[in-house]
Amino acid sequence: MQRDASTGIPTVLFGAFDRHNFGDLLFPHVMARMLPRSDLLFAGLAGRDLRAHGGHKVRALAQVAASLRDRPVNVIHAGGELLTCDAWEAAVMLSRPEKMQEAIASLADWRQGGLSWARARLGVAAWAPYTLARESFPQAVHVFYNAVGGVDLDERDPAMRAEVLAKLKAADDISTRDRQTKALLDASGLATRLIPDPAVMVAELFGKRIRQCAAHSAISRILDAFPERYIAVQFSADFGDDETLCEIAAQLDRIATSSGLGVVLFRAGAAPWHDDLTCYRRVLARMRVPSAKIFSSLNIWDICALIAYSRVYCGSSLHGRIVAMAFALPRVNLCHPARTRLATKQTAFATTWEEAGVSTAVEVPKIAEGICDALAVDRARLQHTAEDLVTRYRQGFDPIRAKLC
């Protein structure tokens, strides 16, 4: 258990790192390195062991809260789009593969049962269960929200919005990772700070570990296959209709032919609603160029290495982009056809932290054009952004360090 060196107060690190999602699994690693102590207590909504994928052994929040209810404790929300994940969405993403359809079908029960349904499914009676009520830890000394996002909070159910705002008002410190979320919270009378996402630190803190992955078979086989490097490509399962997949294949054929680069498809998440190998296989079946492969490893350090050794990243994952930013690599996000006119966490982050002229996001029919534009950006500009983000994150995290160290 994590304990404050001077006071013996345990520190709970809470987040959505209880499922396989690339960014969420990186957050606790960054937090553990940024705080000068060991043995953090990692808590999620579900108890899971993700160490086989480079994650952590995570305890269920309900159990952690019960064990620490009468003790002083510090709580840090580790980061991510925590403010707008409702209980039903959380239950689906935490479901086992064989239970996913059952979880999806429980939407009507969730709408009818509300907080009682959430307590029964997740052990927490909350509309937005990845935001903690201070009452969960009645003796809490400090409650922090670190670089959280919630770009569409104003579009969520009024009861959920009210709950999230009440929890935030009870916190000691709130930092957000994009200007859109900050503006929404500021308009509600909250005092917030703007800092980058924790994953901007991966090259700075874990560069050596990630480079060592290149010697492992999973990465070395890719590097052997593509000595001139490759485009790291990723997209979520909701891109999986035939028309969209056909267009993705055609666009990747076009840019692979014009650039001479290979194409490597990888998953940035294996939890429900994330990425699907079947979609990738369908894209490869439609491609004409032979220089395309699927990268199967789900280990987060292998994924970091795959991006770090690529020539450019293109995908729907925000953290695919952020890791590319950390390694000063060209990048462009991919817009889902149904959300091209809506603000997303990807565009909110990019418009907050990228320099003018750097590609933010493209629609599927413009993948080749977007990758070409990304490759044309001066590498010195990308390096400047990477270094600036590290500085800004360190400065932004200092208020938490100051209170816990």
Query: Residue 355 carries which DSSP code?
Result: P
Q: From CA 23, how far away is CA 173, in angstroms rounded? A: 22
If DSSP codes are grouped into helix, strand and coil, which group holds residue 43? strand
Q: From CA 300, how far away is CA 23, in angstroms rounded? A: 9
Q: What is the DSSP string of 133-187?
A: -GGGSTTEEEEEEEEE--TTGGGS-HHHHHHHHHHHHT-SEEEESSHHHHHHHHH
pLDDT of 36: 73
In terms of residues, how long is the chain? 405
pLDDT of 7: 54
pLDDT of 191: 94
Q: Nearest Cα to 31, choosing from 18, 21, 42, 22?
A: 42
Mean pLDDT in consecutive groups of 10 residues from the start of the chain, 405 residues? 57 95 96 82 96 96 93 94 95 88 90 92 94 92 96 94 97 97 96 97 96 86 93 95 96 97 96 92 96 95 96 97 98 86 88 92 96 96 97 96 85
Tokens of 241: 């209709």
If DSSP codes are grouped into helix, strand and coil, which group holds residue 341? coil
Domains and CATH numbers, the chain: 11-194 (no CATH), 201-388 (3.40.50.2000)
pLDDT of 393: 98
Beta bridge partners of 49: 57
pLDDT of 38: 62
pLDDT of 217: 77
pLDDT of 214: 83
Q: What is the DSSP string of 190-214?
A: ---EE---GGGGHHHHHHHHHHHHT
Query: Residue 2 carries which DSSP code?
Result: -
pLDDT of 151: 96
pLDDT of 37: 67
pLDDT of 5: 47
pLDDT of 6: 42
Q: From CA 143, how far away is CA 128, in angstroms rounded? A: 16
Pairing of strands 48-49, 57-60: antiparallel
pLDDT of 1: 44
Query: Are the beta carbons of 95 and 270 closer than 8 angstroms?
Result: no
